[in-house]
Structure 1
Amino acid sequence: MQARRESELSALQNEILEAVATGVPFTEVADTLCRRAEALAPGANCTIASIDAGGFIHPVAGPGLPRSYGEALDGHPIGPEVGSCGTAAFLGIPVEVTDIATDFRWKDYQDLALPLGLKACWSSPIKSREGRVVGTFAFYYRESRGPSDVERQLVDTCVHLCSIAMERAEVSRRLQHLAYHDQMTGLFNRYAFDEIIAQSMSLPARSFGLLLLDIDNLKQVNDRMGHSVGDALICEVARRLANVGAGINVYRLGGDEFAVICSDCDDAENMAELAGRLLSQMEQPYEFDGNTMLLQITIGGVLSNSDGTSADLLRQNADLALYHAKQTARGDYIHFHPGLRTSIQCRTEQIALLDSALNENRVFAHFQPVICMRRAKIVGVEALARIRTDEGNVVSAGAFAMGLTDSKNAFRLTGCMLEQIASAMRCWIDEGLELRHVAVNLSTVDFQRGNLEERLRAPFEAHNVPLSFLQIEVTENVLMDQEVASQVARLRAQGMQIALDDFGTGFASLSHLRDFPLDYIKIDKSFVDSLLTDTACSAIVEALISMAHKMQIGIIAEGIETAEQAARLLEIGCPLAQGYHYARPVDGETITTLLRSFNGKVSPPATGSDHVRNSA
């Protein structure tokens, strides 16, 4: 009997832990746990409740009781006489009530329980790793009795599983918050902005105003007073923008650029009035660390009902208005009009620059190493496009990024890079240099144009390089397209490795790790930047690394720039790293020299799970 009981508890534990690890929502995990517990303890009704930071009860699961029972308890404060659950949460110890009808702790709640035939209740507190009560796990009985020894063992297991599941749910909530909020200012971020603009512009009847603005002279503040003062100035501007009033949402798009969406602005006069209020918010000097600074912003604005037919065009027109304001009316506001097309010329020039470079074979690959930190070896490289000018100068991707907005250019660039990657890989294999993968970024255009599998396979077959050496990097936003996700699955089935790039900066969700066919996660540079200064960020990175190991997914930290960041990542178990601390992107000849210096004989490329084992 004891052996069977232990087997049942082990099966329960494995089922719940697997659900937690694969990102099943906590409400579903709690419901499953209650149902399994009730099956193992006949005659008991199980409930799980969470306790928020303010000490209020929120029922999560109770499949054996009417929904009205949980609804009646929702929002009640915990206390010394709040039934079994509220008292257990208040005292932080289990509370056994064998007779609800006579127990003083139930005097205000008997009318809820007794009509349902509930006569006894045993509740245990669920605690976080730090010892804070975050929930309760309870057994209700329809007879006046306490728990059996078998039920005590079952509840011990369930409370422990609840603690794990609630902690993971909290990490997921933090990730979700981080995905849509700027860490420095607490405002909504660029991804939240992109999502709301796209949704708003898709509505048949839309009427809102969009203002883009940035801070004037921030570079001078950073150069003269230091980046800590500049960061404080950004936060102060964010605070003042957020205090303008109701009816607006404020977003930090990155650096010193902000966006304001006003649902009440439906004409140019309203927009000008709102811009005036934003400008007036900056009139008071800002005192920080003994420095007095004058805040100044410049604003460009558009109206959704007249200045753009799509989200992209509306944003582009707002950019044009802001650009013109910075050129001609710094510290003031300019509303868009069709004549503000100077930046279109810049885009046209970049499209032409990339097009001519592709025509004249002046596009080539630079490679940035991916390092196994523990063994100080190069295990992979990421290929990055560069242009060589007629004068022999090397132009990085930032100088022709707008050229990639042309789908033809983007498509041709991928083909050019694939040929160079396959050729370089053939040379490294022939020389006996060890390298597990070469990564290349694919855009939405690559998936939309069709015949992607053939385009990827052809250059590698021509150079007799196994496809298992090719690592495809895609962002979360690209994978949100179900058709793209299906193509990614097919690529992986052919032996290619799949990496989720910039994880946590798009529509971040732990469910992505379950739903999409992944071999690697690349932790975005924004996480690494805040790793040593932001406790929440550090906890999230640590949780991601732990989760990746358990799910046998490789994990790479991007953008490492300091030895301290590298040391911390190594300490918390991150095996692979990429960033300027190790090496900047270099040409093929230089990366070959690095491979000769640090690596040895070729070994077969690893899968994600092998990668975790071999590079830790």
Structure 2
Amino acid sequence: MVDLQKLILEMIARGEVLAATAERLCREMERLAPGVVCSIVGGEPDATMRLIAAPSLPEDYQAVFDSLGIRPSEAPGGGEPGDGSKAIGDPAADFLSAVALPPGVGARWSAPIRSAGKLVGALTFFFPEQRVATDLEREIAAVGIELCRIAFERDFALRANQRLLYTDSLTGLHNRACFEEALMEPPSTGGSALLLVDIDGLKTVNDTFGHNTGDSLIRTIAQRLAEAAAPYRAFRIGGDELAVLAAAEDVVPLAHRILDRLGQAADCAGHMLVPSMTIGAAIRAIDDKSGMIMRQNADLALYHGKDDGGRGSLVLYAPELRTRMNRRLRAIDQLRRALAEGRIEARYQPIVRLDSGAVTGFEALARIRERDGRIVAAADFQDAFADARNASDATRAMLRAVSADLRSWLDAGIAVGRVAVNLAPADFAHGHLVEEVQEIFVAAGVPLDRLALEITESVYLGRRELLVQRQMEALRSLGIKLALDDFGTGYASLTHLLFTPVDTLKVDKSFVDHLNNDEQTGGAVINGLMRIAEKLGVEVVAEGVETVEQRERLVGLGCRLGQGHLYSGALDSAAVGTLMRTMPARLPSTPLPTSIRSRGIRRRVQTRAA
């Protein structure tokens, strides 16, 4: 038995797995006690018992026992020695009494294995005849029980360390390290899929209600995700990013189940919140051995969902997403290099009176001058503005270019009216927009009442209304006019006008395009917008005026200002100077609408409205 102790302790010290150590221990005890068959049952305190080793018992015996799911407190107990079926050592450790004795076995004898006073397993001897354990067998069992205790405790410690290593401390989900290992596992039959779940607006929750509320939200979402994703595993792999590895065939229904379950209102540290999640998903390709391609594709899908208006929904990866991403990355790099090399220039499209063609101001449009002198229009690098840093840097470059041109026109005695510069959502995010605008125009010596700033409704996304409102009010107080661009295409235009008044509404080109003689849709929308603007005391500018017919319809609807290629494209600063030297400057040379025609159109519109 000394040799037995030495052998098993060496195995424990070498780090052999518990099952291998227990099996060797059973075989050695069977060698020391001929005719005896040994088994070891065990599990962590209060956990389900499992048959760890029974090398001489039939294979189906282990499967039957494991299917019972017995816990230490549920040991059935049993009869007394000599009842014809068993010879119980300790009823509390007789976990095997619920399983019929194997063929050729007359009785069994069980002894408990305890750790820190808690029952964690049992060692059982099976005898070919009905009898109790001999003194020698009890002595062998005592040595075996102590060795089991040592092996069990080492296994418990390893499991505890593994839980710490692979469990997220905040949510109890599997953590990033566990996720990285799971990602390397071979795909399941039928294919695997990855769902990346991103919590929308977590930073806003943290900033508004505090990190305790944010942490409570994460825990709530994690718990719901684990329930909704079952039987698949859920992971927390970042601050606001969770993941689920699932079968490919389940990816869409699972995503919808997750969105439905996670999107329900929740009490988070005393604050009722309605969570919103965006899911990016990808299916694993056959040749994706490591799962990393699937991870990249899911990341790409999630990025598109967060960036392209897909928040709160599922975006499933498709190859065209990568094409769009590559195009965007090229545009970002192109704009970044142009900014670094000072190759951002302003071009100016006139804003005119529709009834007379008189120029009242300009909209500044960004252009990139390539190294070969070629001019690239903003539409060709629009994707670059998805990068917040690029967008902010481009705005500052445009403000500097416009202020310099305004200064040169003022010095030449040329009055150009106000010049409008487009702002991006990123310009409001850092909270220093007002100071930056003031600094640039003061440095150029240009009055701020020469400037207008155009925004789109995208600046309101992300629950930033209050931040945007404060900065807009501060800009207006400096004499800067504000315009809401692309009006009518956003998701809550009228609501925004209630809280953040602007000076100008710019009607989106899509409505002007519908101003054909045989179509009333565009006219009805613009007519309604004109009535709203009139009540609010707001000026209206129609964008994309390209035909005389459109101009006449707009004048008939009461729209006073417009811009578009009917009048002029974007001009460089020299062309603006030439145009504005003769006052009043008028565009274009096409016939102006007659007053009779204008009144006739207006009268018919009013009659229809009535």
Q: What TM-score do the two structures reach when normalised by structure 2?
A: 0.45
Larger RCO (CA within 8 A; separation ≥ 6): 1
Q: What TM-score do the two structures reach when normalised by structure 1?
A: 0.45
